Amino acid sequence: MSFFPPIRPLSLAAATLVLAQMLALGGCASGPEVRVSQDKTVDFAQFKTFAFADPLGTDRGGYQSIVSQHLKAATQLEMEARGLHLVSTQPQLLINFNASLNEKMRVSSAVPPPPISGYYGYRVGMYSAWPMYADQTRVSSYTEGTLNIDLIDAARKQLIWEGVVTDSVTQKDLDQLQASINSAVKAAFAKFPLAAPAPAKAP
Residues 169, 142: Cα–Cα separation, whole Å: 8
| Backbone dihedral angles phi then psi of residue 181, each to the nearest 5 degrees | -65, -40
- The pLDDT, as a whole number, for residue 149 is 96
Residues 188, 107: Cα–Cα separation, whole Å: 27
- The pLDDT, as a whole number, for residue 117 is 53
Cβ atoms of residues 196 and 82 within 8 Å? yes
**Cβ count within 10 A of residue 170:** 13
- The pLDDT, as a whole number, for residue 165 is 94
- The pLDDT, as a whole number, for residue 174 is 80
Strand order across the 85-86 sheet: 33-38, 158-169, 136-153, 93-110, 49-52, 85-86
- Domains of the chain plus CATH, in order, are 33-105+144-189 (3.30.160.670)
Task: Answer whether 0.75 is exceeded by the pTM.
Answer: no
Would strands 85-86 and 136-153 be described as parallel, antiparallel, or unpaired? Answer: unpaired
3-class state of residue 177 by DSSP: helix
| Beta pairing partners, 106 | 140
In this predicted structure, the answer to whether residue 18 has a pLDDT above a threshold of 90 is: no
Task: Report the number of secondary-structure helices (H) and strands (E) in the chain.
Answer: 4, 6
Q: What is the pLDDT of residues 25-60, one digit of tens each?
A: 333 445 789 999 999 999 999 999 999 999 999 998
Q: What is the pLDDT of residues 138-161, one digit of tens each?
A: 666 767 889 999 999 999 999 999
Residues constituting the chain: 203
Residues 194, 191: Cα–Cα separation, whole Å: 8
In this predicted structure, the answer to whether residue 203 has a pLDDT above a threshold of 60 is: yes
Residues 178, 186: Cα–Cα separation, whole Å: 12
| Beta carbons within 8 Å of 50's beta carbon, 6+ residues apart | 79, 84, 85, 86, 87, 91, 92, 93, 94, 95, 151
Going by the DSSP 8-state scheme, the letter that residue 90 receives in this structure is: S
User: For helices 177-189 and 66-81, what crossing angle results, to 10°?
Assistant: 40
